[in-house]
Amino acid sequence: TKRARKQKIKKSRCKDGKKECQKKIMAKKIHNIEGVQLGTASSHTRYGDKEDSLLITLPKTAKVSCKFTSNKLKAAPVQLAINNLSSYSSGAKAFLINAGNANAATGQQGMKNVKSYCKAIASELNLKEENVIPFSTGVIGEALPVNNYLSAFQEANTKLSPKNWAKAANAILTTDTRPKIISKQITIGKQTFSITGFAKGSGMIRPDFATLLSFVFIDAKINRRSLNKMHAEALDCSFNAITVDGDTSPNDSSALVANGNEAKLVETNSKAEKKIAQCVKGIFKELAELLIEDAEGATKKIKISVSKANNLQQAKSVAFTVAESPLVKTAMFGSDANWGRILSAVGRDRTIKTIENVQIKVNDVPLVKKGNIDPKYSEAKASRAMKKKEILIQIILNTGKTEFEVLTSDLSEDYVLINSDYRS
């Protein structure tokens, strides 16, 4: 039956999933961020007793940069977060994150619900209401069981610890099979800076700034303008360069936080700021890659590399057109060296005027030259290339000097089954 098949998929996806990944996380060195504390608890709703609610408290010195979905359907917590961030003041801050219910398309009641638990937690933590920032992920259009989540956040408050990173990364998951967390240190002169971040996302992924949430924390004092710039640049080469299915969630949110550590002041435009920005970019890119590796139903990780494009707009447009083509993605799943699908996707892109100069390779195996089959094409070599778990599709447009890369996944029967009755 369909349900039995879904259970089989779930077991298959989780075989080396949450528990195994949890062990790997615990084996890794996770660097705590001074002043940042995390607590988790269960709302006892969609996921039973699994911890699905996360409270993060930030010191009063912290600076916060957040980017949100471009979807015109913005969930109630996203609307409130944007409003609060536009007016938040000095003082300690908190993030409230729940999984299982998106609180999107829930009207005025949805906004009342999120405001009510934010107000209650602000009171418990003795914070200003505008300094509590909510995030949600899960099913769209269902009423939020506000009392359950409030109780969970209150319980999480009793479990706050600077060491709960693995639990936090696990608490925000929905259809993901494993938590995604990256932690690094960078030494600049005599100072060592720690950066730790975690994210979730497996389907409904095409952030434009999927169901995607990301939280990255820096142990440093960085002004808000520099932090916003750092955040935007990191997103451009990470979450803005991935797609699973082309769908943008009403809840997509990314937060970059500097804890304001006075002993680790980073001057604007300094060498230290540039090095930290590079490290932040690396963490965002690694988190984005982990999301693609755990994409719903995915069996392959695919990079679409577009080079020699006329401009960045064309490079991006072609890369995403190919990455989101169902015919290309299903051919990748079936290891079918059907290069015509790739060329057709390039040819229908709105920025392409002619395909006469287009060249295509897969894992360096020639497929197309000057818009036609490459004289060096080998079906046997192309088929072998397609069978690999990591595939590089190289598209050379020969119209300019710009390049852009997108990470995506294949499209399998499992993806269809996972999403055909997501709410069950």
Q: Looking at residues 206-228, what average pLDDT do you find?
A: 84
Could you tell me the CA-to-CA distances from 40 to 7, 171, 173, 288, 292 in Å, in that order? 27, 7, 12, 24, 25
Does the pLDDT at position 60 exceed 70? yes
Token pair in block for residue 416: 């269809």
pLDDT tier at 298 (50, 70, 90 boundaries)? confident
Q: Looking at residues 406-415, what average pLDDT do you find?
A: 87
How confident is the model at residue 424, as a pLDDT? Answer: 45
Query: Tokens 């100069």 label which residue?
Result: 357
> How much of the chain, in percent, has pLDDT values that exceed 70?
89
Please tell me which residue in 45, 57, 196, 211 is annotated as part of the active site. Answer: 211
- Closest Cα to residue 138, out of 56, 71, 211? 211
How confident is the model at residue 312, as a pLDDT? Answer: 96
Q: Looking at residues 333-354, what average pLDDT do you find?
A: 95
How confident is the model at residue 210, as a pLDDT? Answer: 42
The neighbour count for residue 185, using CB atoms within 10 Å, is 13
- Mean pLDDT, the chain, as a whole number? 90
Given a contact cutoff of 8 angstroms between Cβ atoms, the answer to whether 63 and 227 are in contact is yes
pLDDT tier at 1 (50, 70, 90 boundaries)? low
Please say if 211 is a catalytic residue. yes
For the segment 355-370, what is each residue's pLDDT rounded down to a tens digit?
A: 999 999 999 999 999 9
How confident is the model at residue 3, as a pLDDT? Answer: 55
| Separate counts of helices (H) and strands (E) for the chain | 13, 15
Beta 180-188 vs 191-200: how paired, if at all? antiparallel
Does the pLDDT at position 125 exceed 80? yes
CA atoms within 13 A on the CB side of 356: 2
Does the pLDDT at position 346 exceed 70? yes
